[in-house]
Structure 1
Amino acid sequence: MEIEVRRFEGSLKAWFDAVDISFGQRVVDEDLPVVEAYTELDRALAAYAGDRVVGTAGIFSFDMTIPGGRMPVAGITMVGVHPTHRRRGILTAMMRAQLDAIHERGEPLAVLWASEAAIYGRFGYGLATFKASIEIERARAGFREQHVPRGTFRLLEPDEATAACRPVYERYLPTRIGAFSRSEGWWRAEFIHDPERWRRGGGPAFFLLHETDGVGDAYARYRMHGDWDERGPKGSIDVQEAIALNPAAERELWAYLFSVDLSAKTRAFNVPVDWGMRFMLSEPRRLGMTIGDAVWLRIVDLPAALERRAYAGRDRLILEVRDGFCPWNAGQWEVEANPDGARATKTDADPDLVVEAADLGSAYLGGVSFAELGLAARIEECTPGAAARADALLRTPLAPWCPAVF
């Protein structure tokens, strides 16, 4: 049967019924009023076999912090093909339709967290940010220096957590490249909503606010996984999100999270790879940090993406970009960059660097260098020193980091 990819037509429940088949889940009616507030059905694509949906591709519309400011991006989500219809080109067809629509809408970038990392490179997505996971025993979470706490803590009820935590996040947003803006619906569905079936055996979510002089400057969402044996408690604290606006607040926040009663260890799935806690603890190796992939980035409109980014210096480079999936990006581009932005124009001049679109996406936020890509034979340096010059332009003080999966 012929497959047709087009805008999804149907109810919110029908959408999530179709989405969840790909992820081995089932939507629950009580979730629908919550997810309705942030689900953009007007941007949802579906693959139809007759009148039956066999594939889905959704988008969250938000701004992402980039070097020099914020940019509207398409947050790709809820992408899947039903197991009954794999290996028929459905995903490629949905990616084709989705990127064309994003380009027409004028969003220069598309970003995603990949459920399976091998999928998206062929569509021009490059791995642009990383995240660290940690697990540390409570007894080993000692700090290098004594600290007199300045702040206080409050445990918040779910119905007050957004109002207290969102202002902290909004102040944090412009300070970390890779963070994204969140709607009221996102806060409700992804931060507050906490059905038991999502807890993976843990307890309910706790919402912790740190205040200094009465003003919130850090927060955390965490849950406890209780466990006991004949020697006593050996449970764990799972930190889903922790945001702090300054080193003092971050130290006090994590001192709390490392020492909750009846826990033997603290775990976190997603902290920055350049996390300051590495230099606050007396035994940083006890964090057991492991690095994993996070956000994949696709440059959809190359001149717009390059021109709206800020740079760490001034230079002129000719880039040859190879882009078979979005051919409007392909060719030689003269990029004249400065701290306020750039001018990117098509040219016939010989290139300084030859790069695939996916690898330019990896480098765009400053989290991956052309020197690293060179080690993997992912670039061709036509002018000696061009990779180092490009890295000097794109470098950022901190590694890009996305605080939450979307």
Structure 2
Amino acid sequence: MSDDSTEEVLRRLAPQVLGALVRRYGRFDCAEDAVQEALLVAARHWRDDNVPERPYAWLLRVASRKLTDLLRAEQARRRREATVAGRVPPGDRATPPADAGAADVDDTLILLTLCCHPSLSPSSQIALTLRAVGGLTTAEIARALLTSEAGMTRRISRAKRTIQDSGVPFRLPPQAERRQRLDAVLHVLYLIFTEGYAATSGPDLHRPDLAAEAIRLAEITAALLPDDSEAAGLLALMLLTDARAPARLTAHGELVPLREQDRTLWKAESIRRGVDLITRALPRGPVGPYQLQAAIAAIHDEAPGPEATDWRQIVALYRLLMRASPSPVVRLSHAVAVAMADGPAAGLVLLDALDDPRLLRDRRLYAARAHLLEMAGEAGAARAAYTRAAQLATNLHHVRYLNTRAQRLG
């Protein structure tokens, strides 16, 4: 077994082992730490000729022992604190036996809903999902999200305490809440992918490891929810979007907009998979925002060139998306699509009608306006809009691209 496949096995088994421990002992905080320690032990000891015959059982046994050690250490600490305080310590919670087993069931979906609990902030939901379900170390998550390891440690610890203190039972949410909680899971996976594919800040435009992890988690979720069209739609959207990653930068690191990309560099297999997923998902219904976005992405990816893009169909899909998931960014994208279908003047009218204050601080509004003004031949106004977009951009690649466009206009 190669190192890569060993890592893949560990990532796949991590949520299953964690779910087994939490289901039996209910200590999410300590169980998660125990699984992380067990993963480190496995990474050190598993080799091509040393991978156990039953890796799940091996990992569960080691994690159970680690959990035993952690709970005993916690009990000892409480006894010492009680002694110092001059009181009799309360009865200790029973420590699980070191080789405790658990039912061989996959609790990954329960873990996902737990990590995306509404009491947590979106940033905490993302971090805890990457840690508990993704199996990433705190250092890996900190690097992926461009923050310090110490800060990420505190964020994850607070999130685990919040989950533990909430007393939420380890099972799927009640049927009345399930759709909302599953939607939260899909949203968190979407945020992880978006940050990986188009980093909001920092020197890198694309963080392939983070995008790949989001796709992996979306694949797991779609497999666990085989009848959920939105789960399939989200996976399709990720695959169809990520397919363009190889063409987004030149050899010199310059940003290449979609209309100018070399489509022979796009990932053909990802496009094939994404188109197949969305083609099968749409007829099942109901049609949600991820399916609509995936359908739009499929039109772009299947067009042999920008001139062959069916912009009228994209406009129609954006109209549906505005009804299903109204947001200023969707309205902005619809305006650009209208411009491509009916000319820049029609798109500019729609952009002028966007009055959401959040867009006034977003580079995308000014970049879109600049592009349409350039299409309309208004070089001076386009240059000013590109310059304003560059001032609002937080990613270095976006700043360089927008300033370059402004300079080309004189």
For normalisation by structure 2, the TM-score amounts to 0.27
Structure with more of its chain in strand, by fraction: 1
In our comparison, the structure showing a higher alpha carbon Rg is 2
Which protein, 1 or 2, shows the higher relative CO under an 8 Å CA cutoff with sep ≥ 6?
1
For normalisation by structure 1, the TM-score amounts to 0.27
